[in-house]
């Protein structure tokens, strides 16, 4: 009875955890109260030179790159948390069913014990001697023996069910711990994203309008230079793959999102981050793929750049922190970074890590 009570207690705890997972809103993290600061005395400043602006451009690239890495970590933790929440709920349902089964087995075992008690009392040889019909007694004894075998089987099944319930409870507890760890990982990544974006926005806010225009021009020139170098290698002449039917649907979905803003952690329909756009495009094409750019790189089949076709995904940077969809003619559609919108760009405008094909 002690283990039964413990099982019931564990079940109640797991169900409470599962309900909390289903009903709890997203974890809120209070923003720290900014410390009061003294307004500095204005000092004359000189406009940044071309060299200074180039350094600012590189610094912004680094900040937004770090934000993208943190966004991938956030998205991965979010996906794992969703999966673990679902597994906890499934385990809770299994535990409820198992507990119902255990209660039924206990009722049956109790009924069998009571029946055997009522049929017992005298030793078997005495009951045989007193019986008017030895054959009838022997037949009854056989039925009693069968009943004893059945009772033993019932008790064995009760033991197995109790052991299963204990294991399910352990599994649920382990999943709950993982869920809490991923919630903490999400919170850490969220803070890092906001930190990097805030630093980039602060850096940009210090520029005058003309300087921002010059900076934008520098960004365009850097992208154009990288794209030109990529095309000058002759790679485009080797790329002749045609899109699959699913690839065409994915490309259409992605290009239909052009103009919508980038937002970290977003999967549409109003805004996207880079892997949110590619994963939703392929989901719309009827083919689910991993949520993050790093998992897309790890899990999807790799193809050579020269063999890529529209709908394939190009993974960028050594840490696979950015992803775009190839749409043909040396171009991609992607959600670039905070402050930008979904747009078309040159496939070689960023350092290519490799290409993956969702519907290989």
What amino acid positions are annotated as catalytic residues? Answer: 274, 322, 334
- DSSP labels for 247-312? HHHHHHHHHHTTTPBB-TT-BSSS-B-HHHHHHHHHHHTT----SSHHHHHHHSPEE-GGG--TT-
Answer for the pair 308, 355: CB distance below 8 angstroms, yes or no.
yes
How far is Cα 52 from Cα 216, in angstroms, rounded to an integer? 14
Instruction: Report DSSP state, residue 68.
Output: H
Q: In terms of Cα–Cα distance, which of 273, 309, 311, 308 is closest to 294?
A: 273
Query: How far separated are the first and last CA of the chain, in Å rounded?
Result: 56
Return all residues near 208 (Cβ < 8 A) that are at least 6 apart: 47
Residues in the chain: 360
Which DSSP category does 242 fall into?
P
Residue 48 tokens read as: 């940044």
Give the position of tokens 């960028």.
316
Residue 334's beta-bridge partner residues? 343
Reduced to 3 states (helix: H, G, I; strand: E, B; else coil), residue 155 is helix
* Cα 341 versus chain centre, distance: 24
Query: What letter would DSSP give residue 354?
Result: E
- The CA distance from 265 to 280, in Å, is 12
């Amino acid at each position: 009875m002690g283990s039964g009570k413990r099982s019931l207690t564990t079940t109640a705890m797991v169900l409470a955890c599962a309900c909390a997972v289903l009903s709890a809103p997203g974890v809120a993290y209070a923003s720290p109260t900014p410390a009061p600061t003294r307004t500095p005395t204005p000092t004359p400043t000189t406009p940044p030179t071309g060299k200074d602006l180039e350094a600012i451009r590189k610094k912004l690239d680094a900040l937004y790159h770090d934000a993208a890495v943190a966004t991938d970590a956030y998205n991965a933790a979010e996906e794992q948390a969703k999966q673990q929440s679902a597994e906890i709920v499934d385990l809770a349902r299994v535990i409820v069913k198992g507990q119902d089964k255990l209660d039924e087995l206990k009722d049956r075992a109790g009924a069998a014990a009571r029946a055997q008690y009522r049929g017992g009392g005298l030793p078997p040889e005495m009951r045989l001697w007193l019986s008017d019909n030895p054959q009838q007694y022997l037949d009854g004894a056989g039925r009693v023996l069968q009943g004893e075998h059945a009772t033993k089987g019932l008790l064995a099944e009760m033991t197995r069910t109790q052991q299963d319930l204990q294991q399910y409870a352990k599994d649920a507890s382990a999943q709950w711990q993982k869920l809490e760890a991923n919630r903490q990982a999400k919170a850490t990544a969220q803070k890092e994203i906001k930190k990097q974006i805030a630093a980039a926005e602060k850096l940009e806010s210090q520029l005058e309008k003309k300087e921002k225009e010059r900076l934008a021009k520098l960004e365009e020139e850097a992208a154009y230079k990288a794209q030109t170098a990529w095309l000058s290698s002759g790679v485009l002449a080797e790329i002749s793959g045609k899109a699959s039917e699913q690839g065409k649907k994915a490309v259409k979905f992605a290009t239909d999102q052009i103009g919508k803003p980038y937002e970290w952690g977003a999967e549409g329909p109003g805004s996207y981050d880079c892997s949110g756009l590619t994963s939703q495009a392929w989901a719309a094409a009827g083919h689910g793929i991993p949520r993050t750019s790093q998992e897309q790189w790890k899990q999807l089949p790799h193809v050579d750049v020269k063999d890529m076709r529209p709908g394939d995904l190009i993974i960028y940077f050594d840490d696979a922190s950015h992803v775009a969809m190839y749409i043909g003619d040396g171009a991609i559609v992607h959600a670039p970074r905070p402050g930008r919108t979904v747009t078309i760009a040159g496939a070689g405008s960023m350092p290519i890590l490799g290409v993956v094909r969702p519907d290989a």
